[in-house]
């Protein structure tokens, strides 16, 4: 069930009033939300609801065991087992076939004939997000940042809550479990802000991302050799807009829907293509993932405490694993490696020459923005291509001198500019619109979403493609 | 009998209309936020149903056919008729037709 569909509108129209009517009976409300979240997940493949339940139960039991012991050795052991079990699930579903193919290839290279059967098990939707939520809970309890929940229902709902279930944002247990312990405050509903996020998300996904992808980016990436240099370059920029509008649309809608139901999620995007350095980029792009990687991977590895080269190594390892998290393929590892190398290089330049593109004069910051944007877009080529060899071929075709005229249409260019304009508008500009909507009459409050959705219907393609991050 | 000026100072009298507006706003605000959201969501659904009822018919056509979906489909087709008779769906259909004829967009071929 995708967000910008009639299915979801009807689903929400039923879930919303029941959720609030149960607000005074918090346990019943949570039970209801857990059940509808499982129903939401079952829309893709009902069998994987068992995986979701066992994962939640396993993490709940591990954290209860952690709460019951104060021995550091036992706590470390329990944490180790819980983390391993979480990662084993991810490894089996997401990486087994990839590793099997790579090992078989490597063995073949050395003349060995290995036959490792692929599992051919379909990848559960959002397996990576489930694992991140489970690990977040175990780590937070292990570090005593959050108390182990006594309620299995709370942990089940934390892991399965339908707005964040499929593609984030990654919500920390420490931030969410407290919200479940008491009834929601209806005054915390930000009607204007939530509707703006939801409607903006629908426009970004259905109008901007879908059209740029289907009209231009997908055909170019599927058959790059049919296109000239300018199309290849523009398609790389186009994909940067597509993935931003697609992914930020999902998390914006998730944040808006959760707020309407009485729960607060963290912000996940903050105009990432304004970034003047890669470090700045990762503070603005998929913020819940980058802070997760920082807190649970980079800092435990030593962060920047072990000296220069150890810091560069930690940055590299963190981003390589971040790349691998996105998908089982060398193209994702290279994508992460490029970001890791860029982050390490920025740090080296800052430490050696005192150069920081985020803090210099306007000219330095503009140069920093330009270089960062080019690096990010070049790295997206690896992210979009089906394999690393396809990505290298794509880059080779850009370098090849081709006289083929560009095929991109003015409509696609206009959409790309519109998508990029979302990066330039200062957030304060939205504030006055939000205030206007908050004070508007009920008739206007109905007119705005109605007209927006009708306009999206007029301008959008027939049908909605799945969100890109569903595959992760 | 108390003179009105005893109740309303000049400033107060000047601000009386806006006070009335704000009292109206308060009357509006008596609707709790969840109730307000509910009204917005359901009213929006009704507007969408009347302005573009064909979307519901197409959506129902994609569902597995059974007695329930058949009944829903015939009801949706009645809404299509009513909306067309009242001219409510005409603006959406005309705008959509215009966009399709412009050649800017084509049917979704899926994306990654």
Position with higher pLDDT, A4 vs A75: A75
Q: Are residues B47 and B93 in the same domain?
A: yes
Domain boundaries, position B16: 1-30
Q: Are residues B15 and B44 in the same domain?
A: no
Structural domain contains residue B20:
yes
pLDDT at residue A113 in the model: 74
Q: Are residues B87 and B45 in the same domain?
A: yes
Task: Give chain B positions within 8 Å (CB) of A453.
Answer: 44, 48
pLDDT at residue A118 in the model: 65
Quickly count helices (H) and strands (E) in chain B: 6, 0
Domain count of the fold of chain B: 2
Q: Are residues B97 and B70 in the same domain?
A: yes
Q: Are residues B70 and B20 in the same domain?
A: no
Question: How remote is the C-alpha of A138 from its chain's centroid?
Answer: 21
Contacts of A351 (CB under 8 A, 6+ apart): A308
**Torsion angle of C-alpha atoms A302, A305, A310, A312, degrees rounded to 10:** 100
Residues B2-40: tens digit of each pLDDT: 343 333 333 333 333 444 344 445 445 568 899 999 999
Residues A300-331: tens digit of each pLDDT: 888 888 888 899 999 999 999 989 888 778 89
Binary contact (A6, B34; C-beta < 8 A): no
Terminal-residue alpha carbon distance, chain B: 78
* Cβ under 8 Å to A: B residues 70-89: none
- Give me the mean pLDDT over the A48-52 stretch: 88
Q: Do the beta carbons of residue A160 and residue A76 sit within 8 Å?
A: no
Q: How far apart are CA A430 and CA A273, in angstroms?
A: 18
pLDDT at residue B5 in the model: 39
Binary contact (A465, B110; C-beta < 8 A): yes
Q: How many CA atoms lie within 13 A of A47 on its CB side?
A: 4
- Give me the mean pLDDT over the A153-181 stretch: 89
pLDDT at residue B16 in the model: 38
Structural domain contains residue B110:
no
Task: Give chain A positions within 8 Å (CB) of B25.
Answer: 439
pLDDT at residue B106 in the model: 65
Residues A231-272: tens digit of each pLDDT: 999 999 999 999 999 999 999 999 999 999 999 999 999 999
Q: How far apart are CA A391 and CA B67, in angstroms?
A: 51
- Closest CB to A454 among B41, B92, B110: B92
Binary contact (A215, B96; C-beta < 8 A): no
Binary contact (A442, B39; C-beta < 8 A): yes
A422 SS3 class? helix
Structural domain contains residue B51:
yes
Q: Please state the domain extents for chain A.
A: 24-183, 191-418
Q: How far apart are CA A111 and CA A311, in angstroms?
A: 39
A292's enclosing H/E stretch is: helix A287-293
Q: How many CA atoms lie within 13 A of A356 on its CB side?
A: 9
Structural domain contains residue B107:
no
Q: Are residues B15 and B62 in the same domain?
A: no
pLDDT at residue B17 in the model: 40
Structural domain contains residue B43:
yes
Position with higher pLDDT, A132 vs A466: A132
- Give me the mean pLDDT over the A179-207 stretch: 92
> What rounded mean pLDDT belongs to chain A?
89
Q: The tokens of A403 are what?
A: 């006289």
Task: Give chain B positions within 8 Å (CB) of A6.
Answer: 55-56, 59
Q: How far apart are CA A320 and CA A336, in angstroms?
A: 5
As annotated, the active-site residues of A are: 326
Task: Give chain B positions within 8 Å (CB) of A214.
Answer: 106, 108-111
pTM of the predicted model as reported, rounded to 2 decimal places? 0.85
pLDDT at residue A404 in the model: 78
Structural domain contains residue B108:
no
- Is A472's pLDDT higher than 50? yes
Entry field: residues in chain A: 472
Q: How far apart are CA A228 and CA A402, in angstroms?
A: 5
Phi, psi (degrees; rounded to nearest 5) at A253 = -65, -40
Q: Do the beta carbons of residue A189 and residue B37 sit within 8 Å?
A: yes
B111 touching chain A per CB within 8 A: yes
Reference A449, options A19, A14, A17, A13; nearest CA is A13
Structural domain contains residue B112:
no
Q: Are residues B11 and B58 in the same domain?
A: no
B19 touching chain A per CB within 8 A: no
Q: Are residues B47 and B90 in the same domain?
A: yes
Task: Give chain A positions within 8 Å (CB) of B47.
Answer: 446-447, 450
- Is B48's pLDDT higher than 80? yes
Binary contact (A441, B28; C-beta < 8 A): yes
Distance to chain A for B92, nearest Cα, Å: 7
- Give me the mean pLDDT over the A48-69 stretch: 91
Q: How far apart are CA A302 and CA A282, in angstroms?
A: 19
Structural domain contains residue B111:
no
Q: Are residues B68 and B98 in the same domain?
A: yes
Q: Are residues B92 and B56 in the same domain?
A: yes
- Is A380's pLDDT higher than 60? yes
- Is B1's pLDDT higher than 80? no
Of the spans A110-114, A234-238, B85-89, which averages the highest pLDDT? A234-238
Question: How remote is the C-alpha of A61 from its chain's centroid?
Answer: 28
Binary contact (A13, B41; C-beta < 8 A): yes
Binary contact (A458, B96; C-beta < 8 A): yes
Q: Are residues B43 and B63 in the same domain?
A: yes
- Give me the mean pLDDT over the A194-212 stretch: 93
Q: Are residues B80 and B91 in the same domain?
A: yes
Residues A398-421: tens digit of each pLDDT: 888 677 788 888 999 999 999 999
Distance to chain A for B100, nearest Cα, Å: 9
pLDDT at residue A443 in the model: 93
Q: How far apart are CA A235 and CA A242, in angstroms?
A: 10
Residues A427-459: tens digit of each pLDDT: 777 888 899 999 899 999 999 999 999 999 998
């Amino acid at each position: 069930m995708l967000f910008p569909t009639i299915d979801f509108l009807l689903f929400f129209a039923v879930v919303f009033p029941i959720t609030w009517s149960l607000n005074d009976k918090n346990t019943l409300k949570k039970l209801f939300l857990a059940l509808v979240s499982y129903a939401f997940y079952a829309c893709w493949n009902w069998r994987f609801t068992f995986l979701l339940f066992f994962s939640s139960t396993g993490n709940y039991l591990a954290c209860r065991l952690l709460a019951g012991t104060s021995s550091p050795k036992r706590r470390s052991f329990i944490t180790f087992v819980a983390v391993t079990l979480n990662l084993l699930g991810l490894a089996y579903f997401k990486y087994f076939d990839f590793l099997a193919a790579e090992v078989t290839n490597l063995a073949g290279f050395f003349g060995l004939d290995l036959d490792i059967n692929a599992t051919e098990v379909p990848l559960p939707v959002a397996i990576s997000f489930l694992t991140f939520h489970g690990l977040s809970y175990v780590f937070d309890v292990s570090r005593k940042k959050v108390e182990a929940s006594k309620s299995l229902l709370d942990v089940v709902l934390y892991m399965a809550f339908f707005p964040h279930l499929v593609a984030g944002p990654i919500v920390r247990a420490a931030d969410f479990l407290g919200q479940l312990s008491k009834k929601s405050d209806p005054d915390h509903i930000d009607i204007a802000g939530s509707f703006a996020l939801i409607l903006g998300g629908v426009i970004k996904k259905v109008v901007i991302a879908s059209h740029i992808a289907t009209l231009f980016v997908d055909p170019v990436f599927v058959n790059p050799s049919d296109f000239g240099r300018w199309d290849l370059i523009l398609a790389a920029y186009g994909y940067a807009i597509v993935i931003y509008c697609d992914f930020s649309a999902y998390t914006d809608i998730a944040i808006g829907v959760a707020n309407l139901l009485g729960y607060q999620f963290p912000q996940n995007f903050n105009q990432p293509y304004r970034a003047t350095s890669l470090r700045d980029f990762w503070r603005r792009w998929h913020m819940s993932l980058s802070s997760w990687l920082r807190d649970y991977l980079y800092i435990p590895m030593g962060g920047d405490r072990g000296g220069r080269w150890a810091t560069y190594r930690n940055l590299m390892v963190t981003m390589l694993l971040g790349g691998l998290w996105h998908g089982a393929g060398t193209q994702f590892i290279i994508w992460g490696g490029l970001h890791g190398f860029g982050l390490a290089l920025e740090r080296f330049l800052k430490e050696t020459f005192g150069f920081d593109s985020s803090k210099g004069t306007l000219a330095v910051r503009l140069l920093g923005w330009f270089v960062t944007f080019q690096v990010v877009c070049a790295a997206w080529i690896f992210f979009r291509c089906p394999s690393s060899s396809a990505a290298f071929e794509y880059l080779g075709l850009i370098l090849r001198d081709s006289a083929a005229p560009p095929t991109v249409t003015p409509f696609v260019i206009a959409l790309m500019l519109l998508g990029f304009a979302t990066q330039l508008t200062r957030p304060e500009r939205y504030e006055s619109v939000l205030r206007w909507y908050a004070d508007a009459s009920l008739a206007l409050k109905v007119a705005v979403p109605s007209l927006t959705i009708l306009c999206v219907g007029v301008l959008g393609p027939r049908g909605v493609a799945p969100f890109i991050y569903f595959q992760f | 009998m108390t003179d009105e000026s005893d109740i309303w100072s000049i400033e107060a009298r000047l601000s009386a209309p806006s006070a009335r507006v704000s009292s109206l706003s308060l009357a509006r605000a008596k609707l709790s936020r969840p109730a307000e959201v509910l009204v917005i969501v359901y009213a929006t659904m009704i507007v969408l149903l009347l302005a573009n009822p064909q979307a519901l018919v197409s959506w129902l056509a994609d569902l597995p056919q059974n007695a329930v979906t058949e009944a829903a489909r015939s009801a949706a087709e009645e809404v299509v008729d009513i909306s067309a008779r009242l001219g409510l769906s005409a603006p959406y259909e005309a705008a959509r037709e215009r966009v399709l004829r412009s050649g800017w967009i084509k049917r979704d071929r899926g994306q990654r």
